């Protein structure tokens, strides 16, 4: 073989080798393979030159999917091949957050040992956010003990405490408050933990994150904040005398060291009664949209509806869209775990994520 032929053969071999290396897996197929723990395919794709942080169509990188499945050997493979343990996906999630959300304590511990950060970039969903949201008290305890940032801020400025309140996880909320979580921090809608408790009808948790007098004041406020428009602000409806009287008795009992549980129940019942009466008497702004999302694990008919007021800020609309995307993602992964069809849920999730992106992107 002459030198020209050898050169041509070398060029041809290099061309075909580079073509093979440039062949990336289909994102949907990649995601399904990693979810199923197909370590042989993962190793082959990596050997062929797939970037270690290659993302699937929904969940994120291979490391993130493996973390969500609690698959430590698969996580180790991606780390050994150069995956960024703190990689943030296009929807703002990290591997340790997904492991925490799914309750995989050993995976969370392994990631921490490998150097996963418990102090994520500002305005990123943290592992503590997801553990609080999903109701995983043991993982919350672990993260707090390892020094996780108690008041980490999500893209909507929500804190882990707000997530616990939103989902009604009273024990986790108490753990966070006892660990020093701020009860006065506000989201990008200007709402603190108390406002979240009232918005999601978590009245039992309201006095956990705020003094009773603040609860009484909050439920007397307008159901929707006044807009800086010509119409005058809505006037609040004064709390009835029984609420004030019960609050007075509750404070006296606390000062005297007497049991307060019965009084607290009466107080919250009176507050709820007043809140319902206020809702009937207060004229609300016309809604510009009705956001409906299915709550995770609920049966048919268990959808949740939320009115987004006319003139709501883009941040408020993003929050509603974000909550919908989270619910769809949870439903998608539950369907995958049960072997149910997921194409429609995948389509809805991608559409929800697209709605969350600022215009022009």
Domains and CATH numbers, the chain: 17-117 (1.25.40.20), 126-210 (1.25.40.20), 285-361 (no CATH)
53-62, 169-178, 278-287, 330-339: range with highest mean pLDDT? 169-178
Number of residues in the chain: 361
- Residue where the block lists tokens 């050994």: 80
What's the pLDDT tens digit per position in 160-172? 999 999 999 999 9
What is the pLDDT at residue 187?
Answer: 93
Q: Provide mean pLDDT across the span 274-296.
A: 44
Rounded to whole angstroms, how far apart are CA atoms 140 and 5?
Answer: 65
> Comparing 187-196, 266-275, 288-297, 319-328, which segment has the lowest mean pLDDT?
288-297
pLDDT at 289 over 60: no
At 312 the pLDDT is 31
pLDDT of 18 higher than 50: no
Phi and psi angles of residue 251, each rounded to the nearest 5 degrees, phi first: -65, -40
Question: What mean pLDDT do residues 262-270 have?
Answer: 74
Q: Encoding tokens for residue 101?
A: 């959300």
Range in 81-90, 315-324, 348-357 with the lowest mean pLDDT: 315-324
In whole angstroms, how large is the CA radius of gyration of the chain? 25
Q: Is the pLDDT of residue 302 over 70?
A: no
What's residue 171's pLDDT?
97
Are 134 and 103 in contact by the 8 Å Cβ rule? The answer is yes
| Residue 335, pLDDT score | 75
Phi (first) and psi of residue 184, to 5 degrees: -105, -10
φ/ψ bin of 153: left (φ > 0), alpha (ψ from -120 to 50), beta (otherwise): beta
Which phi and psi (to 5°) does residue 301 adopt? 95, 0
Q: Residue for token digits 């009604």? A: 168
């Amino acid at each position: 073989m002459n030198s020209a032929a050898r050169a041509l053969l070398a060029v041809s071999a290099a061309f075909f080798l580079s073509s093979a290396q440039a062949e990336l897996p289909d994102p949907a197929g990649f995601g399904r393979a990693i979810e199923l723990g197909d370590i042989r395919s993962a190793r082959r794709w990596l050997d062929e030159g797939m970037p270690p942080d290659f993302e699937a169509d929904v969940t994120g990188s291979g490391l993130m999917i493996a973390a969500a499945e609690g698959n430590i050997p698969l996580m180790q493979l991606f780390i050994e091949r150069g995956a960024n343990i703190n990689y943030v996906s296009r929807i703002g999630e990290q591997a340790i957050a997904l492991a925490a959300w799914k309750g995989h304590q050993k995976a969370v511990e392994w990631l921490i040992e490998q150097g996963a950060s418990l102090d994520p970039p500002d305005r990123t969903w943290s592992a503590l956010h997801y553990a609080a949201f999903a109701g995983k008290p043991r993982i919350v305890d672990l993260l707090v003990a390892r020094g996780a940032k108690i008041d980490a801020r999500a893209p909507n400025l929500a804190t882990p405490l707000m997530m616990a309140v939103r989902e009604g996880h009273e024990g986790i909320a108490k753990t966070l408050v006892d660990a020093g979580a701020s009860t006065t921090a506000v989201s990008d809608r200007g709402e603190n933990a108390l406002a979240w408790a009232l918005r999601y009808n978590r009245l039992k948790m309201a006095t956990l994150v705020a003094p009773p007098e603040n609860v009484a004041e909050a439920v007397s406020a307008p159901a929707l904040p006044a807009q800086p428009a010509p119409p005058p602000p809505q006037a609040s409806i004064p709390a009835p005398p029984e609420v004030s009287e019960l609050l007075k008795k509750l404070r006296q009992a606390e000062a005297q060291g007497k049991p307060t549980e019965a009084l607290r129940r009466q107080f919250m019942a009176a507050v709820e009664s007043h809140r319902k009466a206020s809702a009937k008497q207060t004229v609300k702004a016309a809604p510009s949209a009705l956001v409906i999302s299915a709550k995770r694990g609920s049966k048919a008919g268990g959808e949740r509806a939320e009115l987004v007021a006319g003139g709501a800020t883009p941040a408020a609309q993003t929050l509603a869209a974000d909550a919908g995307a989270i619910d769809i993602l949870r439903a998608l992964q539950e369907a995958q775990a049960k072997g149910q069809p997921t194409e429609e849920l995948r389509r809805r999730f991608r559409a929800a994520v697209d709605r969350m992106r600022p215009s022009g992107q």
